[in-house]
Amino acid sequence: MKITFLGTNGWFNTHTGHSTCVMAETKDAYIILDAGGGFYKTHDLIKEDKPIFLLLTHLHMDHIEGLQVLPLFNFKQGMKILVEDSSMLDLQNIMRLPYMPAPKNLKMPTEIVPLSKAKNLPFKLEYLPLVHPVKTVGFRITAEDKILTFALDTGPCENLLKLSENADLMITECSFLPSKPMGNHHLTPEQAAQAAAEAKTKLLALIHFKADDYDTLEKLVAASVYFTKTFAPYDGDFLNL
Ligand SMILES: [Zn+2]
Ligand SMILES: [Zn+2]
User: What are the boundaries of each domain within the chain?
Assistant: 2-240
Residues 6 or more apart in contact with residue 105 via CB below 8 angstroms: none
pLDDT of residue 56: 98
CB 79 within 8 A of CB 53: yes
User: How far is Cα 23 from Cα 6, in angstroms, rounded to an integer?
Assistant: 7
Q: How far is the CA of 173 from the centre of ligand 2 (A)?
A: 10
User: How far is Cα 69 from Cα 65, in angstroms, rounded to an integer?
Assistant: 9
User: How far is Cα 127 from Cα 80, in angstroms, rounded to an integer?
Assistant: 17
pLDDT of residue 171: 98
What is the DSSP-derived secondary structure letter of residue 102?
-
Superfamily of structural domain 2-240: Ribonuclease Z/Hydroxyacylglutathione hydrolase-like (3.60.15.10)
Side chain identity at residue 29, one-letter code: A
Q: How far is the CA of 49 from the centre of ligand 2 (A)?
A: 31
Write phi, then psi, for 33 (nearest 5 degrees).
-110, 110
Q: Hey, how many other C-beta atoms are within 10 angstroms of the C-beta on 105? A: 11
What secondary structure does DSSP assign to 44-75, as a single string? HH--S-S-EEEE-S---GGGTGGGGGGGG---
pLDDT of residue 63: 98
User: How far is Cα 103 from Cα 119, in angstroms, rounded to an integer?
Assistant: 21
pLDDT of residue 221: 87
From the CA of 137, the nearest ligand is 2
User: How far is Cα 162 from Cα 127, in angstroms, rounded to an integer?
Assistant: 10
> Which tens digits make up the pLDDT trace of 21-58?
999 999 999 999 999 999 999 999 999 999 999 999 99
Residues 6 or more apart in contact with residue 59 via CB below 8 angstroms: 83, 87, 90, 91, 94, 134
Write phi, then psi, for 141 (nearest 5 degrees).
-110, 130
- The residue ranges of the chain whose pLDDT is under 70 are none
Q: How far is the CA of 153 from the centre of ligand 1 (A)?
A: 6
CB 187 within 8 A of CB 176: yes
Task: Report how far Cα 190 is from the mean position of its chain's Cα atoms.
Answer: 20
Q: How far is the CA of 183 from the centre of ligand 1 (A)?
A: 14
Q: How far is the CA of 27 from the centre of ligand 2 (A)?
A: 31
Which among 196, 154, 195, 197 has a CA at the least distance from the CA of 176? Answer: 154
What is the DSSP-derived secondary structure letter of residue 218?
H
Q: What is the pTM of this model?
A: 0.97
pLDDT of residue 220: 87
Q: How far is the CA of 153 from the centre of ligand 2 (A)?
A: 5
pLDDT of residue 226: 87
